[in-house]
Amino acid sequence: MNWRDLQVWKKSHLLTKQIYQITRGFPKEERYGLTSQIQRAAYSVPLNIVEGHSRKTAREFLQYLNIARGSLEELRYLLMLGCEIDYISIPDRENLESAAAEVCIMLDALIKSLQRGKANRRKVEISKS
């Protein structure tokens, strides 16, 4: 399976494109401030999914998924801040937050699935001993 086949990657990639669209309307003086930070937090999510998927072990993949999860929470905070300082409209924030929540659920499910797989492999190894 290729990382492009992962639904969580597809959703996070779409969210990143939406963030870039929204931040085009941010003030020019925020170019190296909030605009840059919110874009980095957004693209960090699919980027870490891609990098983790390319690793050789589930443990490494989990590490990158957890980084993606942290970046997603950073993005959610920045969306809240952007709305509170009137850079992001309430409807846009609600749409982006909804998309972020969906990615969060998918990431958490993938993390739990990989953790269960690791636990099951350990049980098999112990029973073979």
Cα 87 to the center of its chain, rounded Å: 22
Please state, in angstroms and as integers, the Cα–Cα distance from residue 70 to each residue in 60, 73, 115, 127, following that order: 16, 5, 17, 35
What CATH code would you report for 3-128?
A: 1.20.1440.60
Check whether 40 has a pLDDT greater than 70. Answer: yes
Structure confidence by residue, pLDDT tens digits, 55-101? 989 999 999 999 999 999 999 999 999 999 999 999 999 999 999 99
pLDDT of the residue at 129: 44
The C-alpha atoms of residue 107 and residue 101 are separated, in whole angstroms, by 10
- Tell me, letter by letter, the H, E, C secondary structure of the chain: CCHHHCHHHHHHHHHHHHHHHHHCCCCHHHCCCHHHHHHHHHHHHHHHHHHHHCCCCHHHHHHHHHHHHHHHHHHHHHHHHHHHCCCCCHHHHHHHHHHHHHHHHHHHHHHHHHHHHHHHHHHHHHHHC
The C-alpha atoms of residue 51 and residue 90 are separated, in whole angstroms, by 33
pLDDT of the residue at 117: 84
Answer whether 0.95 is exceeded by the pTM: no
| Domain spans, the chain | 3-128
The C-alpha atoms of residue 54 and residue 57 are separated, in whole angstroms, by 9
pLDDT of the residue at 123: 46
